[in-house]
Amino acid sequence: LDPETHTDQQRHDHAVLRLAAQVIATTQFPVGFPTETVYGLGANACSEAAVANIFYAKGRPADNPLIVHVSSLRMARSVSSDAAVLGEGESAGAGAGGRATYGALLKRHWPGPLSVLVPRCERQIPAIVTAGHGLVAVRLPAHPVARALIGLAQTPVAAPSANTSTRPSPTRASHVRDDLRGRLLLLIDGGDCDDGLESSVVDALRSATVPPELSPTSLQTTPTTAVIPHRIPPCLLRPGGISIEMLRKIKGFEDCVVWSPKLPSANKNDTIAPVTPGMKYKHYSPNVPLVLLESHQDETLYSKQQYREAISIAISARISAFLEKTPTKIITSPATIVILRTLSQSDFALNLPRSLPPQVTILQKSLGDSTAKVAHELFAALRDCETLYLNCLLVFIEGVAEADEGLAVMNRLRKAAGETIFFHE
């Protein structure tokens, strides 16, 4: 850095980045760093011991694989045993021989909030990273700090979200500190994350999970079995920063499906369901009881007024039931019930049959007037309920329609909530 043209702050930032990169490149300690989605907890993806420390620091189950972060397409190729799937010289969703590639998708959405599953290069990436799976998730983040850090470390960086397992993902450096204090050597504060929800995880190679008895080599030994390869549509395993609508605009991804437990397996003989292992765990949960309000009908079928009435009745009934079960004398200190509105613009008019005990306050708060703003605020708002409001007894959150960012928001909320109320039945 040129002392003439760079400020003290820039020189300081660069020194921090170099130090963090050195920690990743030369030690086995994880480092906290910002990305455009959420904060990551990163370590050298090529070192089994460093990756083991990530699992340990987070308390993460060993069967939930990590995303490998890279700073260039070249580094992404080094992680894959088949560089062509990343679109070497290809631009379409289907490459030579009808084989799926991510070329067109990455051209449009990398760097960015998108992780793609590619065959793992066993020489580079130890099995611990993918929990033994043959495919490894790779992401080229857009955040300048993340890119510079990985570039300076000169190694792919395995990084889950930098929260303790089961907690909401961190969107501010303070969230990482709250969860992982004493468990990481260094944390780079890059301010609030732009997106607020994690990357989309996409698998276009689902047919690659065919069991060995169906692999092309074994088929060659039984030439009488004519196998007509059929195309298996790509699958969005975890909705995130790149929406399903955006994915379907890409050539080769027009028929991309959203993973659900009901989805048939990619191959009838496939024993491995197309599942992202993280899905089976408790996730994103704050340390306060969270109630998700889901509207049961197509919202277009009833008016805004009807919707507001129905949701207000549902909240009022739930608060009344709570107060019934919790006698006033048990709530000895000042306490709060929080209602997080998403797309509704003004407070819900509650109608509580019994008056509130004087020590209980109901607080209504808006997360924003678009699903993008809600996505940005969501995790921070859940964590605020634990720390900002006095003795938070109950938190309600209004669901959103599952279009655009709304699909990812509802995916997180359904996992975070301990209880769901369907209203307007």
Q: Which is nearer to ligand TXA, 33 or 348 (by Cβ)?
A: 33
β-pairing verdict for 360-366 and 335-341 = parallel
Amino acid identity at 110 = W
Strands 40-44 and 157-158: antiparallel
183 vs 341 by CB, closer to ligand TXA: 183
CB of 198 to ligand TXA, least distance (A): 4
String of contacts with ligand TXA for each residue 100-119, x by CB under 6 A: -------------x-x-x--
- Cβ neighbours, 10 Å, residue 138: 29
* Candidate segments 130-138, 291-299, 307-315, 378-386, binder of ligand TXA by CB under 6 A: 130-138
> Does residue 136 interact with ligand TXA by CB under 6 A?
yes
- Minimum CB distance to ligand TXA, residue 338 (Å): 25
Which of Mg ion, ligand TXA, none binds 375 (CB below 5-8 Å, type-dependent)?
none
Q: Near ligand TXA by CB under 6 A, which window of 33-41, 243-251, 320-328, 349-357? A: 33-41
Pattern 144-163, Mg ion, x by CB under 5 A:
-----------------x--
Q: Which is nearer to ligand TXA, 408 or 421 (CB)?
A: 408
Q: Single out the residue of 20, 31, 53, 65 in contact with ligand TXA (rule: CB under 6 A).
A: 65
Residue 278 binds ligand TXA (CB under 6 A): yes
Residue count of the chain, please give it.
Answer: 425
Residue 192: CB minimum distance to ligand TXA, A: 15
From the list 53, 80, 124, 199, which residue makes contact with ligand TXA (rule: CB under 6 A)? 199
Helix/strand/coil for 376:
helix
- 3-state secondary structure (DSSP) of residue 409: helix
Starting at the edge strand found earlier in the chain, the sheet holding 31-33 runs 186-187, 31-33, 40-44, 157-158, 67-69, 135-139, 114-119, 200-203, 235-238, 257-258
Among the listed residues 262, 266, 233, the one whose alpha carbon sits nearest the alpha carbon of residue 250: 233
* Residue choice 17, 85, 135, 202 for contact with ligand TXA (CB under 6 A): 135
Q: Applying CB under 6 A, does 421 fall inside the site for ligand TXA?
A: no
Tokens of 414: 């359904």
Confirm or reject binding of residue 38 to ligand TXA (CB under 6 A).
yes
Which of ligand TXA, Mg ion, none binds 35 (CB below 5-8 Å, type-dependent)? ligand TXA
Q: Which two tokens stand for residue 346?
A: 């003004």
- The residue (of 38 and 360) whose beta carbon lies closer to ligand TXA is 38
Q: Which residue of the chain is nearest ligand TXA when measured via CB? A: 278
Nearest CB to ligand TXA, comparing residues 117 and 150: 117
Shortest distance in whole angstroms from residue 67 CB to ligand TXA: 5
Provide CB contacts within 8 A for 357, sequence distance 6+.
323, 328, 331
Q: Which does 119 bind (CB under 5 to 8 A by kind): ligand TXA, Mg ion, none?
A: none
Q: Residues 145-174: x/- map of binding to ligand TXA (CB under 6 A)?
A: --------------xxx-------------
What are the phi and psi torsion angles at 420 (to 5°)?
-125, 135
Q: How many CB atoms lie under 10 A from the CB of residue 4?
A: 5
Contact predicate 272/243, CB 8 Å: no
Do 241 and 199 meet the contact criterion of CB atoms below 8 Å apart?
A: yes
CA–CA dist 61, 73 (Å, integer)? 29
Scan residues 161-180 and list those touching Mg ion (CB under 5 A). Answer: 161
- Return the exposure string of 353-366: e unless at least 16 CB atoms fall within 10 Å of the residue's CB, then b: eeeeeeebebbbbb
How far apart CA 360 and CA 348 sit, in angstroms, is 17
Neighbours of 391 (CB within 10 A): 14
Number of residues near Mg ion (by CB under 5 A): 1
Is residue 237 packed enough to be buried (19+ CB in 10 Å), middle (13-18) or exposed (0-12)?
Answer: buried
Q: At 320, phi and psi to the nearest 5? A: -60, -45
User: Binder to ligand TXA among 67, 149, 187, 210 (CB under 6 A)?
Assistant: 67
Residues interacting with Mg ion, by CB under 5 A? 161
Residues interacting with ligand TXA, by CB under 6 A? 35, 37-38, 40, 64-67, 113, 115, 117, 130, 133, 135-137, 139, 159-161, 198-199, 201, 237-238, 276-278
